[in-house]
Amino acid sequence: MKKLNCIIIDDEPLAIEGIELYLNDYDLFNLVGTFNNAIAANTFMQTNQVDVLFLDIEMPKLNGLDFLKTLKSNPYVILTTAYPQFALEAFELDVIDYLVKPIGPDRFMKTVNKLNDIYLKPTSDITEFTTDYIYIKAERKYVKLFYKDIKYIKGLKDYVIIYTTGERVITSINIKTIYNELPKNIFSRTSKSYIININFIKTVNSDTILLDNEELPLGKTYKDDFFNNHVKNKLIQRPTKNS
Protein backbone atom coordinates (compact mmCIF):
# COMPACT_ATOMS: atom_id res chain seq x y z
CA MET A 1 0.00 0.00 0.00
CA LYS A 2 1.30 3.44 -0.92
CA LYS A 3 2.15 5.60 2.08
CA LEU A 4 0.64 9.04 2.65
CA ASN A 5 3.14 11.90 2.61
CA CYS A 6 2.50 14.12 5.62
CA ILE A 7 3.85 17.30 7.18
CA ILE A 8 3.46 18.84 10.63
CA ILE A 9 2.99 22.58 11.16
CA ASP A 10 3.26 23.74 14.76
CA ASP A 11 5.19 26.49 16.54
CA GLU A 12 5.78 24.25 19.58
CA PRO A 13 8.77 21.88 19.14
CA LEU A 14 7.42 19.47 21.75
CA ALA A 15 4.09 19.23 19.91
CA ILE A 16 5.90 18.38 16.66
CA GLU A 17 7.99 15.78 18.47
CA GLY A 18 4.88 14.19 19.99
CA ILE A 19 3.12 13.79 16.63
CA GLU A 20 6.32 12.47 15.06
CA LEU A 21 6.49 9.75 17.72
CA TYR A 22 2.88 8.74 17.03
CA LEU A 23 3.46 8.67 13.27
CA ASN A 24 6.38 6.29 13.72
CA ASP A 25 3.94 3.68 15.04
CA TYR A 26 1.98 3.50 11.75
CA ASP A 27 3.06 2.23 8.34
CA LEU A 28 0.45 4.47 6.67
CA PHE A 29 2.57 7.64 6.94
CA ASN A 30 5.71 9.05 5.37
CA LEU A 31 6.73 12.21 7.23
CA VAL A 32 8.30 14.54 4.64
CA GLY A 33 8.62 17.77 6.63
CA THR A 34 8.04 19.70 9.85
CA PHE A 35 7.55 23.47 10.06
CA ASN A 36 7.12 26.03 12.82
CA ASN A 37 5.00 28.38 10.70
CA ALA A 38 2.48 28.12 7.89
CA ILE A 39 4.38 30.36 5.47
CA ALA A 40 7.37 28.03 5.34
CA ALA A 41 5.05 25.05 4.94
CA ASN A 42 3.22 26.75 2.08
CA THR A 43 6.51 27.23 0.22
CA PHE A 44 7.30 23.54 0.64
CA MET A 45 3.85 22.50 -0.59
CA GLN A 46 4.28 24.41 -3.85
CA THR A 47 6.84 21.89 -5.07
CA ASN A 48 6.18 18.74 -3.03
CA GLN A 49 3.27 16.34 -2.78
CA VAL A 50 1.59 16.48 0.61
CA ASP A 51 -1.28 14.07 1.33
CA VAL A 52 -1.83 14.74 5.04
CA LEU A 53 -1.42 17.97 6.98
CA PHE A 54 -1.18 18.03 10.78
CA LEU A 55 -1.91 21.70 11.46
CA ASP A 56 -1.83 23.80 14.62
CA ILE A 57 -4.23 26.77 14.83
CA GLU A 58 -2.62 29.43 17.03
CA MET A 59 0.69 30.29 15.37
CA PRO A 60 2.61 33.50 14.66
CA LYS A 61 2.42 35.25 11.27
CA LEU A 62 -0.54 33.20 9.99
CA ASN A 63 -2.89 31.05 12.05
CA GLY A 64 -3.88 27.57 10.95
CA LEU A 65 -7.48 28.31 9.99
CA ASP A 66 -6.53 31.29 7.85
CA PHE A 67 -3.82 29.20 6.19
CA LEU A 68 -6.31 26.42 5.53
CA LYS A 69 -8.59 28.86 3.70
CA THR A 70 -5.77 29.75 1.29
CA LEU A 71 -4.99 26.19 0.22
CA LYS A 72 -5.71 25.37 -3.40
CA SER A 73 -4.39 21.81 -3.11
CA ASN A 74 -6.48 19.19 -1.37
CA PRO A 75 -4.62 17.35 1.39
CA TYR A 76 -6.34 15.58 4.26
CA VAL A 77 -6.18 18.05 7.16
CA ILE A 78 -6.03 17.15 10.86
CA LEU A 79 -6.07 20.13 13.17
CA THR A 80 -4.02 19.87 16.38
CA THR A 81 -4.75 22.60 18.90
CA ALA A 82 -5.15 23.49 22.56
CA TYR A 83 -8.32 25.47 21.74
CA PRO A 84 -11.53 23.41 21.43
CA GLN A 85 -13.67 26.47 20.61
CA PHE A 86 -12.57 26.47 16.94
CA ALA A 87 -14.02 23.02 16.20
CA LEU A 88 -17.21 24.18 14.45
CA GLU A 89 -15.38 26.54 12.10
CA ALA A 90 -12.78 23.86 11.43
CA PHE A 91 -15.27 21.20 10.36
CA GLU A 92 -16.95 23.70 8.04
CA LEU A 93 -13.57 23.76 6.27
CA ASP A 94 -13.82 19.98 5.76
CA VAL A 95 -11.00 18.88 8.04
CA ILE A 96 -10.73 15.16 8.66
CA ASP A 97 -10.36 15.49 12.43
CA TYR A 98 -9.83 17.98 15.26
CA LEU A 99 -7.39 16.90 17.95
CA VAL A 100 -7.26 18.84 21.22
CA LYS A 101 -3.87 18.91 22.98
CA PRO A 102 -2.59 17.04 24.87
CA ILE A 103 -3.29 14.29 22.35
CA GLY A 104 -3.43 10.78 23.77
CA PRO A 105 -2.38 7.68 21.79
CA ASP A 106 -5.93 6.26 21.80
CA ARG A 107 -7.36 9.49 20.36
CA PHE A 108 -4.61 9.62 17.72
CA MET A 109 -5.43 6.04 16.75
CA LYS A 110 -9.04 7.06 16.06
CA THR A 111 -7.77 9.69 13.64
CA VAL A 112 -5.54 7.14 11.91
CA ASN A 113 -8.48 4.73 11.60
CA LYS A 114 -10.62 7.49 10.09
CA LEU A 115 -7.90 8.30 7.55
CA ASN A 116 -7.48 4.61 6.81
CA ASP A 117 -11.20 4.19 6.13
CA ILE A 118 -11.21 7.11 3.70
CA TYR A 119 -7.96 6.14 1.96
CA LEU A 120 -8.90 2.47 1.56
CA LYS A 121 -12.52 2.97 0.47
CA PRO A 122 -13.71 1.24 -2.70
CA THR A 123 -13.01 3.07 -5.96
CA SER A 124 -16.52 4.41 -6.25
CA ASP A 125 -19.81 4.63 -4.37
CA ILE A 126 -21.62 6.04 -7.40
CA THR A 127 -24.56 3.83 -8.24
CA GLU A 128 -26.12 5.57 -11.25
CA PHE A 129 -25.90 8.67 -13.44
CA THR A 130 -29.02 9.76 -15.36
CA THR A 131 -29.93 12.85 -17.38
CA ASP A 132 -31.43 14.54 -14.31
CA TYR A 133 -29.80 13.11 -11.20
CA ILE A 134 -26.98 11.12 -9.66
CA TYR A 135 -27.70 8.19 -7.36
CA ILE A 136 -24.98 7.47 -4.80
CA LYS A 137 -24.21 5.41 -1.75
CA ALA A 138 -23.15 7.55 1.21
CA GLU A 139 -23.01 6.77 4.93
CA ARG A 140 -24.69 3.35 4.56
CA LYS A 141 -27.65 4.68 2.62
CA TYR A 142 -28.55 5.51 -0.96
CA VAL A 143 -29.08 9.16 -1.85
CA LYS A 144 -30.69 10.63 -4.96
CA LEU A 145 -29.28 14.05 -5.84
CA PHE A 146 -30.80 16.11 -8.64
CA TYR A 147 -28.27 18.07 -10.68
CA LYS A 148 -30.32 21.24 -10.33
CA ASP A 149 -29.79 21.09 -6.54
CA ILE A 150 -26.02 20.51 -6.59
CA LYS A 151 -24.19 23.80 -6.04
CA TYR A 152 -20.62 22.54 -6.28
CA ILE A 153 -18.39 19.53 -5.71
CA LYS A 154 -15.08 19.57 -3.85
CA GLY A 155 -12.48 16.89 -4.49
CA LEU A 156 -10.35 15.50 -1.65
CA LYS A 157 -7.99 12.81 -2.91
CA ASP A 158 -10.09 9.71 -3.70
CA TYR A 159 -13.46 11.03 -2.57
CA VAL A 160 -15.62 14.09 -3.14
CA ILE A 161 -17.91 16.26 -1.05
CA ILE A 162 -21.11 17.19 -2.90
CA TYR A 163 -22.68 20.42 -1.68
CA THR A 164 -26.38 20.80 -2.46
CA THR A 165 -28.91 23.44 -1.52
CA GLY A 166 -29.89 21.41 1.52
CA GLU A 167 -27.11 19.02 2.51
CA ARG A 168 -23.51 17.90 2.17
CA VAL A 169 -22.81 14.36 0.95
CA ILE A 170 -19.46 12.56 0.92
CA THR A 171 -18.88 9.71 -1.50
CA SER A 172 -15.90 7.68 -2.66
CA ILE A 173 -14.99 8.71 -6.21
CA ASN A 174 -12.25 10.97 -7.52
CA ILE A 175 -13.12 14.38 -8.95
CA LYS A 176 -11.96 13.56 -12.49
CA THR A 177 -14.20 10.49 -12.72
CA ILE A 178 -17.34 12.23 -11.48
CA TYR A 179 -16.75 15.24 -13.74
CA ASN A 180 -16.48 13.03 -16.82
CA GLU A 181 -20.01 11.73 -16.14
CA LEU A 182 -21.74 15.02 -15.29
CA PRO A 183 -23.64 17.06 -17.94
CA LYS A 184 -21.25 19.75 -19.23
CA ASN A 185 -24.05 22.22 -19.95
CA ILE A 186 -24.61 22.43 -16.18
CA PHE A 187 -21.25 21.70 -14.55
CA SER A 188 -17.83 23.22 -15.11
CA ARG A 189 -14.44 22.13 -13.74
CA THR A 190 -12.97 25.36 -12.40
CA SER A 191 -9.87 24.15 -10.56
CA LYS A 192 -8.03 21.01 -9.56
CA SER A 193 -10.38 20.59 -6.61
CA TYR A 194 -13.73 22.10 -7.67
CA ILE A 195 -16.65 21.47 -10.01
CA ILE A 196 -19.31 24.19 -10.07
CA ASN A 197 -22.93 24.24 -11.17
CA ILE A 198 -22.91 27.34 -13.41
CA ASN A 199 -26.54 28.10 -12.56
CA PHE A 200 -25.50 29.10 -9.02
CA ILE A 201 -22.79 31.54 -10.13
CA LYS A 202 -23.32 35.12 -8.99
CA THR A 203 -20.12 36.83 -10.14
CA VAL A 204 -16.77 35.92 -11.70
CA ASN A 205 -13.45 37.74 -11.57
CA SER A 206 -10.01 36.83 -12.84
CA ASP A 207 -9.31 34.05 -10.32
CA THR A 208 -12.42 33.48 -8.19
CA ILE A 209 -16.10 32.63 -8.61
CA LEU A 210 -18.81 33.68 -6.18
CA LEU A 211 -21.68 31.29 -5.47
CA ASP A 212 -24.12 32.87 -3.02
CA ASN A 213 -21.76 33.72 -0.11
CA GLU A 214 -19.06 31.21 -1.06
CA GLU A 215 -15.97 32.20 -3.03
CA LEU A 216 -14.32 29.38 -4.95
CA PRO A 217 -11.10 29.36 -6.98
CA LEU A 218 -10.86 29.66 -10.76
CA GLY A 219 -7.58 27.99 -11.65
CA LYS A 220 -5.32 29.10 -14.50
CA THR A 221 -5.37 25.66 -16.09
CA TYR A 222 -9.18 25.64 -16.31
CA LYS A 223 -9.88 29.34 -16.97
CA ASP A 224 -9.86 29.34 -20.78
CA ASP A 225 -12.12 26.29 -21.07
CA PHE A 226 -14.48 27.79 -18.49
CA PHE A 227 -14.92 31.04 -20.41
CA ASN A 228 -14.87 29.48 -23.87
CA ASN A 229 -17.60 27.02 -22.98
CA HIS A 230 -19.88 29.36 -21.08
CA VAL A 231 -19.20 32.85 -22.40
CA LYS A 232 -19.84 31.43 -25.84
CA ASN A 233 -23.33 30.59 -24.63
CA LYS A 234 -23.66 34.09 -23.12
CA LEU A 235 -24.06 32.63 -19.67
CA ILE A 236 -21.13 34.39 -18.04
CA GLN A 237 -19.31 37.62 -18.79
CA ARG A 238 -15.51 37.48 -18.99
CA PRO A 239 -14.08 39.91 -16.39
CA THR A 240 -11.87 42.81 -17.44
CA LYS A 241 -8.19 42.90 -16.52
CA ASN A 242 -8.94 45.24 -13.62
CA SER A 243 -11.67 43.07 -12.08
- Predicted TM-score (pTM) above 0.85: no
On whether both 163 and 201 belong to a single domain, the answer is: yes
- What is the pLDDT at residue 213? 77
Q: Report if residue 240 sits inside a domain.
A: no
For residues 55 and 81, is the Cβ–Cβ distance under 8 A? no
Could you tell me where the beta strands, DSSP code E, fall in 10-62?
Answer: 29-35, 52-55
Q: Report if residue 50 sits inside a domain.
A: yes
Q: What is the CATH number of the domain that holds 95?
A: 3.40.50.2300
On whether both 141 and 216 belong to a single domain, the answer is: yes
Q: Count Cα atoms within 13 angstroms, Cβ side, for 24.
A: 6
On whether both 133 and 113 belong to a single domain, the answer is: no
Q: Quick one: which of 84, 196, 110 has its CA closest to 150? A: 196
Domain final position from 100, 119, 138: 119
What is the total count of domains within the chain? 2
Q: Report if residue 242 sits inside a domain.
A: no
Domain final position from 95, 119, 143: 119
- Mapped to the 3 state alphabet, what secondary structure does 109-136 carry? HHHHHHHHHHHCCCCCCEEEECCCEEEE
Distance CA 219, CA 239 (A): 14
Q: Report if residue 27 sits inside a domain.
A: yes
Q: Per-residue pLDDT tens for 94-127?
A: 788 899 999 999 999 999 988 887 665 544 455 5
- pLDDT mean over 22-31: 93
Q: Which helix (H) or strand (E) holds 154?
A: strand 150-156
- What is the pLDDT at residue 38? 93
Beta strands 4-9 and 29-35: pairing type?
parallel
- pLDDT mean over 115-142: 68
Distance CA 208, CA 32 (A): 31
Distances (CA, A) of 194 to 52, 91, 129, 153, 176: 19, 18, 19, 6, 10
Distance CA 34, CA 10 (A): 8
Distances (CA, A) of 83 to 52, 72, 189: 21, 25, 36
Distance CA 37, CA 16 (A): 12
For residues 165 and 176, is the Cβ–Cβ distance under 8 A? no
Residue ranges making up the domain that contains 226: 126-231
Q: Per-residue pLDDT tens for 50-82?
A: 989 999 999 988 899 899 888 876 788 999 999
For residues 220 and 227, is the Cβ–Cβ distance under 8 A? no
Q: Report if residue 150 sits inside a domain.
A: yes
On whether both 87 and 130 belong to a single domain, the answer is: no
For residues 77 and 115, is the Cβ–Cβ distance under 8 A? no
